Structure 1
Amino acid sequence: MTTTAITGTTAITMDAARRVIENATIVYEDDRIVAVGSAADVTIPAGAEMIDGAGTLTLPGLIDSHAHAGHGLTRNLGAGAGDAWFDACEDIYTRGSTAGFWQAEAQLSALERLKAGITTCTMLLGGGADHYRTDTREAGDLHCAATRETGIRTMLAAGLNRAPFPKTYRSLDLSRDISLSFENQLAVCAELAESHNDLLGTGTGVCLIMPVYQPDEFAENPETIRRMCRDVMDLREKAGLLFTQDGHRNGSIELAETLGILGPWSYLSHSVDLTTQDMQAAKRSGTSIVHNPSAIMSILGRCPAPELRDMGVNVALGSDAAAPDRGYDMFRHMAQCLHYHRRHFRDPEVMMPIDVLEMCTIDAARAIGLDGDLGSLEVGKKADIVMLDREQAHFYPPIMPLTAAAQFANAGDVDTVIVNGNVLMRHRKTKLDERQILNAAAQELTDAVARCDLEHLLQETA
């Protein structure tokens, strides 16, 4: 058994009392926290390894509840032209990507998340929109392998494309076209779940995802959509999986409830321009909502996150990264969330720092059913811990730690990251070959752009 003590830090615990402890000591044994409190109240066991936390803010590991595999390499294509970028993602993900592409992207995005203090993330295996690389299990296997190599946790959202089927993909070795059916994709999702669904243990989990259908789409093909929903839910229940979706709006949550795809095991991203009935359906079903305040959908519509929270709906925060205008900096997304809703209501007190900190820690853990293990610094919970370097001009004077973390911090302030009791980064140094990861990412994008004749999307606009 290995015992480690963090001393002299300011701990933002996110526990039930939302304690903020100055001159705190945190002790963990192997992968679990055994003590959290002021230095005067915690006895450090003899022989414990010591981490000096002087000049730091310490938080539970951040949880990003919605992001996309693949986007880490394509994020800059098109210089912000949304339609061109979405089309490029479809071309590359379905017809122009190789095993090397998915491996390089998984390693790059994992490195970025680690250095931003994100210890747990839901990653959609594709998207942009509804193009999932589940023709075989290879891309998913590569992503999970990169997660385990990095040491963080990833909930991989594996899923189904939008009807109608079949879809034409190009194999990852680029040797042949594949006619992809709904049944093919569902079988691959089942294989990935059987191999990788152990988020707390190995660091990889699997949830299911299928497209959001709007009421008018459903009316055109109700029986096919109902059958697909039943099949996905049958697998979800059989394998004990979570379920997520990307892009709810304007009546689609109410419809989803009638299709039997909502429950306390579901969490729905974006969720803008919701009707009263949508909000009530989320509340009745115990569904969580994932708010993505920096996403394009939050420009085109508004997620009523404060209103949902007031109703008792659990709301988590997601980066929706990577994309043409955003990355994995959850501190940016916290500040964006505050300004987004304060501007809407013209009220600087609609949301407060503690609210957004909850949304990417304890409430995010609740969305994936793991609030008993993740999301706060408490005895018995996993030792997923992030330490911020507070000895910087933008953090001074060293007062009001909640405000400092939610409104002044950025990803570059993350000094130390601990996951499962393992120190993965200390003083911003990891054990990974970061140069190799960066070089591979650059080369794989260059190759994918050439394969798909997308060089014109590399030009910046004036």
Structure 2
Amino acid sequence: MHTHSSETIWEVEESLRQFGRCPIEELYNRGIPGPCTVVAHCVWLDDREIELLARSGTSVAHCPCSNMKLSSGPARVITRRKGITVGLGSDCEKENNNLDLLEEMKFASLLQMVSTLDPTTGDPWDILTMATLEGARALGLDVVTGSLEVGKQADIVTCCEDLAPAFPRDQPGKDGQPDPIGGLIAAPGDLAAQHRVLVPQRQHLRVFRPAAAQHGSRLLDQIPDQRGDDRQ
């Protein structure tokens, strides 16, 4: 089940006027939240509502570009997650004008920083997880996709930093070392690959395999120290 809730202050005030409860409390009273429910936005939540989402196993679709365009506000559930699964969404075209998930990742990070006045928030690895594994988990698909693991579908997007207008190759991570994921989040540009078949019958049509393997090995050497033990 999917619905939108607590996107605006008016919505909260109207729910209180009509039902005497905040929106998530009213949904909970009607039996809507649960492991098979995804609620978009969740901008104006109080602690009680966040607890109800966590207790019921309800997932949230965070739509930062839409929330900024409509002046809805920063989603409080992002900084007070309490175990809630949070994926990224784009909302509809009239609320966003650009249904680009890579751009959504950038603004999810920036919105956290500016709303908390804390440049250490909006961690790139956390944002990437929201766009991949958490999104898959919200839809009940995390057993088949969302991360590169044995037994899951091998769905990947390769991003070429040369296509970005100003890819920050030396974007520092929390340990001060260059973080390739931080660079990707900060400069999404024209990085997204088109959705097309590139490997029919295990033969890649556009990549010279030895050079790609060598380049991939160099990139992988940069990643382990950036991630930490608690990230997927």
TM-score (norm 1): 0.37
Counterpart of 2:17 in structure 1: which amino acid? D
1:293 aligns with 2:64: yes
Structure 1 residues 15-94: aligned runs within 5 Å: none
CA contact (8 A) 2:74 2:115 kept: no
Q: CA RMSD for the aligned pairs?
A: 2.9
Cα distance, 1:211 vs. partner? 7.1
Partners of 1:211 and 1:343 lie apart in 2 by 24
CA contact (8 A) 1:294 1:319 kept: yes
1:402 aligns with 2:181: yes
1:368 aligns with 2:107: no
Cα distance, 1:275 vs. partner? 1.3
- Say which of 167, 192, 204 aligns to 1:414: 192
Q: String of CA shifts for 1:187-209, please: whole Å, max 9, x gaps.
A: xxxxxxxxxxxxxxxxxxxxx44
Partners of 2:101 and 2:2 lie apart in 1 by 23
Unpaired runs of 5+ in structure 2? 6-10, 171-177, 207-232
Match of 2:17 in 1: 216
Moved more, 318-327 or 284-293: 318-327
TM-score (norm 2): 0.70
CA contact (8 A) 2:169 2:183 kept: no
- Say which of 60, 64, 80 aligns to 1:308: 80
Unpaired runs of 5+ in structure 1? 1-207, 220-249, 428-462
Match of 2:34 in 1: 263
Match of 1:323 in 2: 94
Counterpart of 1:317 in structure 2: which amino acid? L
CA contact (8 A) 1:316 1:359 kept: yes
Cα distance, 1:381 vs. partner? 0.7
Partners of 2:141 and 2:104 lie apart in 1 by 22
Counterpart of 1:328 in structure 2: which amino acid? L
Counterpart of 1:375 in structure 2: which amino acid? G
Size of the alignment, in residue pairs?
186
Instruction: Give the match's secondary structure for 1:299.
Output: coil
CA contact (8 A) 1:272 1:303 kept: yes
Percent identity, aligned pairs only, is: 30
Cα distance, 1:387 vs. partner? 1.3
Q: String of CA shifts for 1:227-248, please: whole Å, max 9, x gaps.
A: xxxxxxxxxxxxxxxxxxxxxx
Structure with a larger share of its residues in helix: 2
Cα distance, 1:416 vs. partner? 5.1
Q: Return the index of the structure with the highest Cα Rg.
A: 1
Partners of 2:4 and 2:112 lie apart in 1 by 27
Closer, same or farther in 2 for the Cα pair 1:282/1:375, shift >3 Å? same
**Structure with higher RCO (Cα < 8 A, 6+ apart):** 1
Structure 1 residues 447-462: aligned runs within 5 Å: none
1:382 aligns with 2:161: no
